[in-house]
Amino acid sequence: MNGAHDPDAYFSRRFAPLVKAATVRIHAARDGYPHEGPPEPPLYGSGFFVAPNWVLTCAHVALEGEGGEVGVSFEGGSARGRVEWAEPAVRTGGLLPAPDLALIRLLRPTAHACCWLSPRTVRAHGGERVAYFGYTEIAGTVGAFDGRCTVRGEFGGDGLLRLGNEDEMPAGLSGGPLVDVARGEVIGVLKGRRGSAQDGGLGVALAQLRRIGVPGARIAREEDDPYHRVLHAHDRYHADLHADVSEARDTWTEAQSGLPASAATVAALTPKRRVVLHGLLAQLPPPAGTPALVALVDELLPRRGEELRLAPRCWREGLEVYLDRLELRDAQGELEAVLRYAVYAATAEHPYPAAAEAADAVWDWVRGLAMTELPPLARNRLGAEWHARVRARAVGRSRRPADAAAAGPLPSVLLEITERAWEQGRFDWYVTVSRPAGDLPLGEGRHGTALADLPTELAGPLGEAFRRSDEPGRPAVLEVALRQALLDLAVETWRIPPGAPPVGELRPVVVRCADRPAGEQQEGTEPGIAPQERWTRLHEDGMEHACLDCDEGRPEDVTADALRDLEPRTFPVLCRVPGGDGGREAIRRIVGSGHPVALWRRERTDPVCGEYHRGILRTVKSGTTAHRLPAAVRELRAGIGAAEPEAYWSRGITLLYDDPGRPLPGDDDVLETP
């Protein structure tokens, strides 16, 4: 190029045609459109292809369709599509809350172009000059439309982008791509105008796509995880397009290669190297989970600075987090860092075995670049690390038990809920991710929230906490810390986010007591077995249970002596509900006696309790140790959600699961009346 680089002119010439080719209009699902039937069915909004046969748009656009289907029209054709994911999942009146995103899958394969999604999702947005694309209706005719504006900053903490009013944003553009003009990459989705043409618009940052849920079951193939299914297909598409030499065509990679070097995050990772590496990593199985990916990045380079608002989930995102931490300034050091990440990804633990050819292809690429670009010492380091990790994985597989994925304690998220002493009916909350490297605070609310509003307010911080903790087939336990007076709070019935199934059907939900009396004895009794010993024995020696408040349907008093005399591997069970027949007092005594595990129910569905007792026995015997209890209770709640009559006895069941070796965070704040 002659003269100084003009980002707008270069974008218009090289990138705009690529974006337009991948941008779609979304409307009612009709066979034959646009060649048959009414010329213009009502326009719902816009979207864009992010992978072969996958369209990203706004939820409020996708949910306009009937029966979960919409029509998708684009350069070269049209097709029916099914909404595979949307958050929120239900359309309501007014502006939908964040992230307001949806993925549509075409119901038949169709040839089309795809946008390039930015891997730069670790930084806050602000100051970028962006282009937006979509479709609008003018005088009864639907046509393509694009404009330019700047990102003025963020709105709130849910990834909403404030857009300037430099250009017009007519109706119909919602769901279209927001493209960074200087870098030539999609950074978000246009959500709509902010109220009037003078206010500019709102966008949704691309990172919010990570809100797609982690699969509840173990994944055995890429298709079992929708997030990786789409992102891996995106990366393979662009890698294949770059490698194809059958015809001359402009691609995102070629256009990005013409940008100034200042547009690159790491100079050593040129656009051509990046697209090849992303494509190779996308042929591997995904990471074993977000915790495993974060641990891999931390192993490569210890954590620096603040935690990310949204943790990485796939290989391309982990690479970006890693590169963002680098403080290197020479191309050789940067390249070695990139190659080292590729080595770690290819030799990491995966949820299912990687094809030998896929891992070997990564190593061949690493070795080829190292041979031509790195000195002998750096090449030796990479080779030694590769072979050591391959050997370590082989040894680990030979020693791992068959049910290793289900062994050991589940990851956990702690939610503390406290009623304000000076404002009855108003609650503060605190969310923490529990992990071996130290607990990670993820959010708090100290403005006194009404109980009915807590599920909606907690959807964001709890959603991110779950994404940081869940592993396929191993959803994190939600530990809810409550004072004794609130231990009957039905948190497992909350829908987080709104429209989702009850959280207790999706993951184990247990309660912990936030105001357990100090000491290990109560009411003048002799010292009993220490809580830590009971916890250890229940989790190592097996478990038994004892129903203390019911004898063949006859009420019994739960005494401190009876609780103290229980064997260390036996935990108490209550038959009567807390609100009557002395149940609340029994719970108070269980908590005060130091028992870390207990079961009771909040409601009674039958006049007789035989089925409840038999169900408790089956639940306890379904596992050898107390590790099994949280997952067993989740299965019961899922059975109730699926209307299984055999699970009805467990309605309202509550599990106290309070590890004394992991004390709750202390509250040193002095409470003062505001």
For residue 518, what pLDDT is reported? 60
For residue 583, what pLDDT is reported? 64
CA angle 515, 520, 523 (to 5 degrees): 85
Q: All domains of the chain, ordered by start, with CATH?
A: 7-206 (2.40.10.120), 224-260+269-400 (no CATH), 412-657 (no CATH)
For residue 670, what pLDDT is reported? 35
For residue 36, what pLDDT is reported? 41
CA 70 to chain centroid:
26
**Residue whose pair of structure tokens reads 């066979």 in the numeric block:** 31
Structure tokens at 612: 């409840």
For residue 1, what pLDDT is reported? 43
Q: How far apart are the first and last CA of the chain?
A: 64
For residue 37, what pLDDT is reported? 41
The type of residue at 113 is A
* In contact, 599 and 608? CB cutoff 8 Å: no
**Residue whose pair of structure tokens reads 């005494």 in the numeric block:** 559
Q: Is 123 exposed, middle or buried (0-12, 13-18, 19+ CB in 10 A)?
A: exposed
For residue 426, what pLDDT is reported? 93
pTM (whole model) above 0.85:
no
- The C-alpha atoms of residue 263 and residue 272 are separated, in whole angstroms, by 14
- The C-alpha atoms of residue 34 and residue 20 are separated, in whole angstroms, by 18
CA angle 375, 381, 384 (to 5 degrees): 135
- The C-alpha atoms of residue 374 and residue 585 are separated, in whole angstroms, by 71
- The C-alpha atoms of residue 287 and residue 279 are separated, in whole angstroms, by 15
In the predicted model, residues of the chain with pLDDT beneath 50 are: 1-2, 32-38, 305-306, 401-407, 519-525, 581, 667-674
